[in-house]
């Protein structure tokens, strides 16, 4: 997949693109429906399937409080899109010049003049342009005017809960510690990526060595203990992780502490992807290390039972 960072004035030498627009945050099952439709249609007509996304996310642009908003890192998203068959990924710099474009101007300047779209695919609730005034009805009118076709994908509903797959529901589930629902909506295990850094060695003193990870810029899950798994050199290792500030040892920054079972390799400085499987318990401050150690042993037993039952 070729990734192109673009702005309002970038010249793009491509024609007859089949394009899907959206942030595709999380690339959940609903997003996958849109992308699969895009790729199938493009291949049928021997066109190049492309995605147009935004950086930063428009909601982050308008609200600086949404610093950690994305469900997955930008790198993770690009890898998933490539795996689904996307050939071109346009990352549009969402700045004032884009934010002030009317829906009609967005269609004319971005979709028609810049990207030369032949077919456009969007979700049913797609909104665009200044104040989000543009919708699929406006797109349909302009598709006829400018000579491109439009396909609108209806919402995908879960079988068990009759909910619409959406990034907002996944964010809510993550912040409640509902990893099972998160993974169901994503169609895969939610994960955090980051580089392994040196810690204070407290866990090693308790005979519980951990890989301390500083996560990439993405949403944080609920603080607590999780059953996890991770691949290293294409080998799957099961384990346990704590995400939080480690109050018992007076921690002052958020860390993901990962303990992989039957693993004893030096991975300092290396990037590790940790897949979350289920929530075990809330983070808690203990009165002393003895109580913490006892709880960790209990947590490990619970997590190993969980893994055995999978």
pLDDT top residue among 269 and 276:
276
Tokens of 193: 């990526």
Domains and CATH numbers, the chain: 2-153 (3.40.50.620), 178-309 (2.40.30.30)
Average pLDDT, the chain: 90
% of the chain at pLDDT higher than 70: 93
Residues contacting 117, CB < 8 A, separation 6+: 17, 18, 19, 111, 148
pLDDT-based confidence at residue 293 (cuts at 50, 70, 90): confident
Residue-wise pLDDT tens digits, 188-226 = 999 998 888 876 555 555 566 788 888 777 899 999 999
Terminal-residue alpha carbon distance, the chain: 34
Which is more confidently placed, 290 or 201? 290
* Residue, of 108 and 268, whose pLDDT is higher: 108
pLDDT tens readout for residues 28-65: 999 999 999 999 999 999 999 999 999 988 888 887 66
Distance CA 95, CA 97 (A): 6
Q: For the segment 136-192, what is each residue's pLDDT rounded down to a tens digit?
A: 999 999 999 999 999 999 988 887 778 999 999 999 999 999 999 999 999 999 999
Biggest CA pair distance of the chain: 72
Contacts of 39 (CB under 8 A, 6+ apart): 49, 84, 85, 86
Q: For residue 64, what pLDDT is reported?
A: 67
Percent of the chain with pLDDT over 90: 66
- The DSSP 8-state label assigned to residue 149 in this structure reads E
In which band, very low, low, confident or very high, does the pLDDT at 257 lie, cut at 50, 70 and 90?
very high
């Amino acid at each position: 997949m070729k990734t192109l960072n673009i702005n309002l004035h970038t010249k793009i030498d491509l024609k007859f693109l089949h394009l899907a627009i959206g942030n595709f945050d999380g690339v959940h099952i609903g997003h996958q429906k849109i992308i699969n439709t895009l790729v199938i249609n493009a291949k049928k007509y021997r066109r190049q399937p492309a995605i147009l996304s935004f950086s930063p996310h428009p909601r982050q642009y308008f609200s600086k409080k949404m610093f950690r908003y994305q469900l997955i890192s930008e790198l993770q998203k690009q890898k998933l899109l490539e795996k689904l068959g996307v050939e071109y990924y346009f990352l549009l710099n969402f700045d004032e010049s884009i934010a002030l474009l009317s829906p009609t101007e967005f269609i004319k300047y971005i979709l028609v003049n810049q990207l030369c779209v032949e077919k456009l695919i969007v979700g049913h609730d797609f909104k665009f342009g200044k104040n989000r005034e543009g919708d699929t009805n406006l797109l349909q009118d302009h598709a006829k005017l400018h000579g491109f076709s439009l396909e609108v994908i209806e919402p995908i509903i879960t079988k068990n809960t009759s909910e619409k797959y959406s990034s907002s529901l996944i964010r809510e589930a993550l912040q409640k510690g509902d990893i099972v629902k998160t993974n169901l909506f994503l169609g895969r295990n939610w994960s955090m990526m980051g580089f392994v850094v040196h810690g204070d060695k407290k866990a090693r003193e308790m005979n519980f060595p951990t890989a301390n990870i500083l996560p990439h810029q993405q949403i944080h899950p609920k603080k607590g203990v999780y059953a996890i798994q991770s691949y290293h050199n294409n080998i799957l290792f099961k384990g346990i992780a704590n995400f939080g500030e480690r109050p018992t040892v007076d921690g002052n920054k958020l860390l993901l502490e990962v303990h992989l079972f039957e693993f004893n390799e030096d991975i300092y400085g290396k990037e590790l992807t940790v897949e979350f499987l289920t929530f075990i318990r809330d983070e808690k401050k203990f009165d002393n290390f003895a109580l913490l150690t006892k709880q960790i042993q209990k947590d490990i037993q619970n997590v190993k039972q969980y893994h055995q039952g999978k």
